[in-house]
Structure 1
């Protein structure tokens, strides 16, 4: 049983990306679904689909995105807030990550948002991860 589902999601994406795997499948949770939808919207993933297995359990199928010549679109992914140490950021603490080429995902009262969207909506929250 996985105790840190966000860490598991990020590790699966990182490992699949390192071996140039085209797709991967992981167990469904609402938080993970919101995170992968944002990563797709930001251009880091090609596709994310909800599916069910023969027992009726929901899964998320991801298709990773690669550039020409098998260049990785995701060059790095890092978990910030962990179960043992939660990291929160106010609106003032949100800065563009990697000079705007990376994205920070936050869990806010308005749902999971990117750092740019959270700045526009003027909310802070728990810093989940950074992707570049």
Structure 2
């Protein structure tokens, strides 16, 4: 199946699984999605993730995190879209929800959270917001 926007597909699958109160969700593997999972884990938005690869194909199993049966992730929003890319400099990286949320960027140094990108003083494509 050809997906025109894999990041939006990833965010939608996670959002739907959270609304259905699933323990985990499986998404098609890509290096970008795996790196996004690393950031979500570091920031405490997911419990963990597991990569299952079979040749060039694979899946990422994302174990969702709940606090008293309420999802830790309150919202996910795609920022840059295939038809309208959003690029920002290190100085323009927004603080989101008073520091409660994060931004995820694709930079020349790899996929980074907004905080890491500011520390390394690199900008890039603003992929999504998570709060």
Scaled to the shorter chain, the TM-score interval is over 0.9
Structure 1, unmatched stretches of 5+, are none
- SS of 2:25's partner is strand
**What value does the CA root-mean-square deviation take over the aligned residues?**
1.3
> How far 1:52 sits from its partner (Å)?
3.5
Partner Cα distance (1:76, 1:91) in 2: 24
- State the TM-score, normalizing by the size of structure 1: 0.94
* Residue correspondences, number: 130
- SS of 1:39's partner is helix
- State the TM-score, normalizing by the size of structure 2: 0.95
Partner Cα distance (1:56, 1:84) in 2: 27
Partner residue of 1:100? 99
Partner residue of 1:64? 64
Partner residue of 1:52? 53
1:79 aligns with 2:70: no
Partner residue of 1:122? 121
